[in-house]
A and B are shown apart, each in its own frame.
Chain A
Amino acid sequence: MKLTEEQVRWVAHLARLELSAAELAALTPQMAAIVAYVDQLGQLDTSGVEPLSHALPLSNVFREDEVSPSLPVAEALANAPRKLGDCYAVPAVLD
């Protein structure tokens, strides 16, 4: 199945990525070619195979619930592009 520019635009929306018209035009055939390549997995017989999300056989890793110092607010905010007092600043969400 061929990937359309409309689908690529929808995926960009899901990924919260603004793409220019030129980027969209370049990306569509590139993604189509890569998707056509990965479609080869359809030929692989995986019936009865459990998905493997992680190579290590780890289950939950627990630790003691101990109080320890965390990053001071000023340091946590030091890289914020915009802040307001002790908070990250964002455009108004509600008018």
Chain B
Amino acid sequence: MSLTRLPASELVPMLRRGEVSSRQLCRAFLDAASARDPVLGAFLHLDADAVLAAADAADASRARGEAAGLLAGLPVAIKDNLCQRGVPTTCASRMLANFKPPYTAHVVERVIAGGGVPFGKTNLDEFAMGSSTENSAFKTTRNPWDHERIPGGSSGGSAAAVAGCLAPLSLGSDTGGSIRQPASLCGIVGLKPSYGRVSRYGLVAFASSLDQVGPFAHDVTGAAMLLQVVAGHDRRDSTSVDLPVPDYLSTLDQPLAGLRVGVAREFFGPGLDPEVEKAVRGALDAYKSLGASIVEVGLPTSPHAVATYYLVATAEASSNLARYDGVHYGHRTAEKTNLIDLYCKSRGEAFGAEVKRRIMLGTYALSSGYIDAYYTKALKARRLILEDFNKVFAQCDVLAGPTSPTAAFKLGEKSSDPLSMYLSDIYTISCNLAGIAGISIPCGFTASGLPVGLQLQAPAMAEETLLRAARMHEKATGWHTRRPAGA
């Protein structure tokens, strides 16, 4: 079997045993990327020389007998909204087309310190705003399972890189489902950690109270490995939580006795594709046969989650993106103008349609006369959503349901209808509003061969339970071992 089709959970032990060097492995993934990324379009930037230099450093360090770190020289692709000093960080926006950050994100520092080799920057919806990666200003990313379909978004490049076997692990960010939905649509594992579990330092801000960085991998072990590396307190992010990080890998393979799996009535409403429903119900049956009990629960506020999210997230985005003023960094208009017009023209020229739409919505929701009806009202709904989860997690250990209402849709299918695109996030956004942990794992395929994802959610800081529950399903079913044709 080709090296590039192996999961990180097998490659890392091979690196440790010296059966493969970091250079050989990185070379294999670079070759795969040169052969197939012209079609997949997962990467915005991939510097082969820098990758090989870092791989050689990892090999040299191992040769000297130094600790190899948890990642032992493994390549890790990075979403292009995470800063790496001196490396282009564009957020797939013309605004930051020439931006090279003067500092490195906490998570990228942790990947390097953990023995990982930063492996290029991956495509995304501009500033992580979107559900298909079609909002990138620079390129189209294709779903490795069907090149006429979207990979999901916003972390579509990171998902396609792993699913397409161009990288064994990658980092993404999730504000309303941007890790879990592309993981689901690409047939891999994607985890959104609890808010505060991972530092946001160096993550280009979209909606600061919702954003969180997390891993993509072929299997749950790979996701646990990368979470282990990036999780933990960082004083440079005042919202990062100062709690010890459990040793996720040491307990991962222990099944949870007496696991209570909650299923919310609201997960199986109108709009859910019957093939997705069938795969998800199959996953619930798998849990039953493993001895878990299925508990029916209710999330009564969930019909309002999309509306709540698109007010809170856009309000925060309109404030965060005010920093792009054509003065400090980023695009500046070439027109000779006064200061106010410099702001307006620089922003008007460089932001794409979806980013403009969200800045406008957020500005409207915060504007005088509307803030109580929209923004403040949404914050009250947000508390009700959190309280729903608190009640549910008194009755069950994890919640299970679909990650996305449909499998991957066609390129262009929803790009002219923003509201229908927003509704594709219906199952993932409450998790961010409540700050809890969520994961998407493969749970089957449609008749036409498109992957379907199962979403599991657990209370804040309960990643250990989440990962163990996910691993139980994975071990019993084996969906995660499939790879797309040609990968």
Contacts and interface: CB of A to CB of B under 8 A. Distances in A.
B209 A54 contact: yes
Interface of B: 98-100, 102-103, 195-196, 209, 235, 238-239, 241, 301, 303-304, 306-308, 310-311, 318, 322, 325-332, 336-345, 347-349, 351, 353, 356-357, 359-361, 363-364, 367, 373-374, 376-384, 386, 418-419, 422, 433-436, 460
| Most chain B beta-carbon neighbours within 10 Å: one of A26, A53, A82, A93 | A53
B344 A16 contact: yes
A79 B373 CA distance: 39
A10 B33 CA distance: 46
Contacts of B331: 81
A55 B386 contact: yes
A19 B386 contact: no
Contacts of A52: 379-380, 382-383, 386
A56 interface: yes
A71 to B, nearest CB: 6
Interface of A: 7-8, 11-12, 14-20, 23, 26-27, 30-31, 33-35, 37-38, 40-42, 44, 46, 49-56, 58, 61, 63, 71, 75-76, 78-82, 88, 90-93
Given A17-B351, A31-B364, A71-B102, A55 B460 contact: yes
B363 A15 contact: yes
Given A15-B318, A93-B339, A41 B304 contact: yes
A53 B94 CA distance: 31
A10 to B, nearest CB: 8
Nearest to A19: B348
B344 A75 contact: no
A34 B310 contact: yes
Contacts of B383: 49-52
A69 to B, nearest CB: 12
17 contacts: A15-B318, A17-B344, A17-B348, A17-B360, A23-B356, A33-B419, A34-B419, A37-B310, A46-B377, A52-B382, A52-B386, A78-B102, A79-B98, A81-B326, A88-B328, A90-B327, A91-B337
Contacts of A37: 306-307, 310, 419
A73 B354 CA distance: 34
Contact of B378 (A11, A26, A41, A79): A41
Nearest to A71: B102
Nearest to B434: A55
Contacts of A7: 364
B40 to A, nearest CB: 30
B218 to A, nearest CB: 30
A17 B344 CA distance: 4
Contacts of A81: 326-327, 329-332
A56 B310 contact: no
Given A53-B379, A80-B327, A17 B347 contact: yes
B360 A8 contact: yes
A17 B349 CA distance: 9
| Most chain A beta-carbon neighbours within 10 Å: one of B103, B348, B422 | B348
A56 B239 CA distance: 8
Nearest to B418: A30
A71 B103 contact: yes
A69 B401 CA distance: 48
Given A30-B419, A51-B376, 7 more contacts: A17-B359, A19-B348, A38-B307, A49-B380, A55-B435, A56-B460, A91-B338
Given A40-B307, A91-B342, A27 B238 contact: no
B356 A19 contact: yes
Contacts of A12: 360
A12 B386 CA distance: 33
B320 to A, nearest CB: 12
A35 B33 CA distance: 42
B307 to A, nearest CB: 4
A79 B235 contact: no
Contacts of A91: 336-339, 342
Contact of B209 (A14, A19, A55): A55
Contacts of A8: 360
A12 B363 CA distance: 8
Contacts of A17: 344, 347-348, 351, 356, 359-360
Contacts of B301: 44
A81 B359 CA distance: 23
Given A33-B419, A41-B378, A80 B357 contact: no
Given A46-B380, A79-B100, A11 B363 contact: yes
Contacts of A42: 373, 377
A56 B360 contact: no
Contacts of A31: 357, 360-361, 364
Contacts of B377: 41-42, 44, 46
Contacts of B241: 56
B342 A38 contact: no
A14 B367 contact: yes
Instruction: Enumerate the 3 nearest inter-chain pairs by beta-carbon distance, A residue then B residue, closest first.
Output: A55-B435, A18-B348, A51-B379
B307 A55 contact: no
A51 B209 contact: no
